[in-house]
Chain A
Amino acid sequence: MTIKLADTIEWASIVKQIDGDFGEGVTRALLSNRTPVTLQRGERKSFYLIPVDWVKYIEMDVGDFDIRYLGIWLGEIVKERFRLSISVLEQLSQLTSSILTVSHQG
């Protein structure tokens, strides 16, 4: 598993989806002074938000260790569809007037 800075095109489509659902500029507010990175696990690509000064850590050699999680888990792309993580909903709810509903269906 390797950590990479988020691909610009992929990130643009996520911004479009989040802003489309929750309001223009919400993703920028959610991001604040962080940067998006990705972690691929099989078919799942997870997006995490990390402080900009952590980029040096993800560029370091971690030897036999695997990075499993870092910063804030934003969500993941599964079968070309982005799904928000439940962990950002609390923060998101403070940035939008949209109503967030959590259900088993996703």
Chain B
Amino acid sequence: MSKRIDRKMAKTIAKEHGYLQYMIERYLALWGESETLRFIQACEYPVRTSIRANTLKTSIDEFQERLQKRGVNLESVPWLEEGFFADFSRHTPGSLFEHMMGHYYVQGVPSMTVVRALDPQPGEIVFDLASAPGGKTTHIAQRMENSGLVISIESDRQRINSLESNILRCGVTNSLILRGDVRKLDQLEIIPDKILLDAPCSGEGLIALDPSRKTSKTMADIRYCATRQDEMIEAALNMLPTGGTLVYSTCSIAPEENEFVIDELLRKRDDFKVIPIELDFGIPAYTDPYGVQLHKSLELARRFLPQKHGLEGFFIIRMTKEEVT
């Protein structure tokens, strides 16, 4: 961090709100005092429940009608026609018959937005990396109208069970699940049109959902995640053909897992560029976090922040592979 920070203030805020001091030091360097306090306050409120209508099983009209009859209040997400904030009042979101039948998927708005940023089309070949429990795989299949091929890759044996279960429940028929390490992608002989890498991360954007995150991860954990993310995104870029699209996202607000990861790649490789996301959401990503000047094209990436959007913190960037001359 090159910006000067007030460690005494960080210590006081951290103690008062139950955070580790290094986190508050970073927030102060990133946002200053008043926005840091707004962030802390926003993380004390639960994130609104949101669901995605699964058009592989039902139409959006029928979905709305059935849930409204069940007493569920729905409010559209402006940039996602299939996304809704949902107030289930007396029900739990997973308890309805319509959920069992796959008519909807309980999913955070940023996670839905990631797939729309990728913009998968019918007939394409799409890789979904680190894919369990399958929210994004099922959404990709939905956008592709169950045509083409979604290759869903996950390394965790246990988590694959939930991935399979969600694929079955949502009526997905165009997926192929592979278990294995994303960093070995070059062993596959299938060339994708698009790749989604929602990378495993420190989860620093999920404090409102999991308050234990205030103290559960150290700076070393963030650095470990960033190293893995760097390896995974390199593997993904190596698999991508010229003209192919890669969307990288994390549920972390840490620039170390987002802007810095991409900036390092942009310095290292000249075969890809950041491209705009054609959806109106969030705010631009940072180009000078902590006062460190990063690649200007990072402003085309987007962020969700709890204190600005009332949602989980998220980072989403869209890139394309270019021919090297």
The chain A residues found within 8 Å of chain B, CB to CB, are: 54, 57, 60-73, 85-87, 90
A73 to B177, CA, bound (A): 12
B184 engages A63 (CB within 8 Å): yes
A86 engages B168 (CB within 8 Å): yes
A87 to B168, CA, bound (A): 6
- Known contacts A69-B164, A72-B173, A86-B168: does B178 contact A62 (CB below 8 Å)? yes
Q: Name the residue in A66, A68, A85 with the highest tally of chain B Cβ atoms < 10 Å from its Cβ.
A: A68
With a CB–CB cut-off of 8 A, which chain B residues contact A60? 188-190
Least Cβ–Cβ distance between A94 and chain B, in angstroms: 13
With a CB–CB cut-off of 8 A, which chain A residues contact B179? 65-66, 68
Closest to A34 in B: B173
- Known contacts A63-B184, A86-B168: does B177 contact A68 (CB below 8 Å)? yes
With a CB–CB cut-off of 8 A, which chain B residues contact A67? 176-178
With a CB–CB cut-off of 8 A, which chain A residues contact B189? 60-62
> B89 contacts the other chain (Cβ, under 8 Å)?
no
A63 to B160, CA, bound (A): 19
- Known contacts A57-B190, A60-B189: does B167 contact A65 (CB below 8 Å)? no
A65 engages B175 (CB within 8 Å): no
List residues of B (46-94) whose CB comes within 8 Å of A's CBs: none
- Known contacts A71-B173, A73-B168, A87-B168: does B190 contact A66 (CB below 8 Å)? no
Interface size class of B (residues with CB under 8 A): 20 to 34
A62 engages B160 (CB within 8 Å): no
A69 engages B167 (CB within 8 Å): yes
B176 engages A65 (CB within 8 Å): no
Least Cβ–Cβ distance between A60 and chain B, in angstroms: 4
Contact with A along B133-153 (1 / 0, CB 8 A): 000000000000000010001
Q: Name the residue in A54, A65, A73 with the highest tally of chain B Cβ atoms < 10 Å from its Cβ.
A: A65
With a CB–CB cut-off of 8 A, which chain B residues contact A62? 178, 180, 187-189
A68 engages B187 (CB within 8 Å): no
A64 engages B176 (CB within 8 Å): no
A61 to B177, CA, bound (A): 15
With a CB–CB cut-off of 8 A, which chain A residues contact B168? 73, 85-87
A69 to B167, CA, bound (A): 10
> B181 contacts the other chain (Cβ, under 8 Å)?
yes
Other than the given A63-B184, A64-B184, A86-B168, 9 more pairs (CB < 8 A) read A57-B149, A60-B189, A62-B180, A63-B180, A65-B180, A66-B178, A70-B177, A71-B175, A73-B168
A61 engages B164 (CB within 8 Å): no
A6 to B153, CA, bound (A): 24
Q: List 14 A-B contacts (CB under 8 A).
A: A54-B149, A54-B176, A57-B176, A61-B189, A62-B180, A62-B189, A63-B180, A63-B184, A63-B188, A65-B179, A68-B178, A69-B177, A71-B175, A86-B168
With a CB–CB cut-off of 8 A, which chain A residues contact B173? 71-72
- Known contacts A64-B180, A64-B181, A87-B168: does B188 contact A69 (CB below 8 Å)? no
The 6 A-B pairs of least Cβ separation, nearest first, read A63-B187, A65-B180, A69-B177, A68-B177, A65-B178, A70-B176
A68 engages B149 (CB within 8 Å): no
B180 engages A66 (CB within 8 Å): yes
Closest to A90 in B: B171
A65 engages B149 (CB within 8 Å): no
A63 to B183, CA, bound (A): 12
Q: Name the residue in B173, B177, B184 with the highest tally of chain A Cβ atoms < 10 Å from its Cβ.
A: B173
Least Cβ–Cβ distance between B47 and chain A, in angstroms: 31
A68 engages B164 (CB within 8 Å): yes
With a CB–CB cut-off of 8 A, which chain B residues contact A61? 187, 189
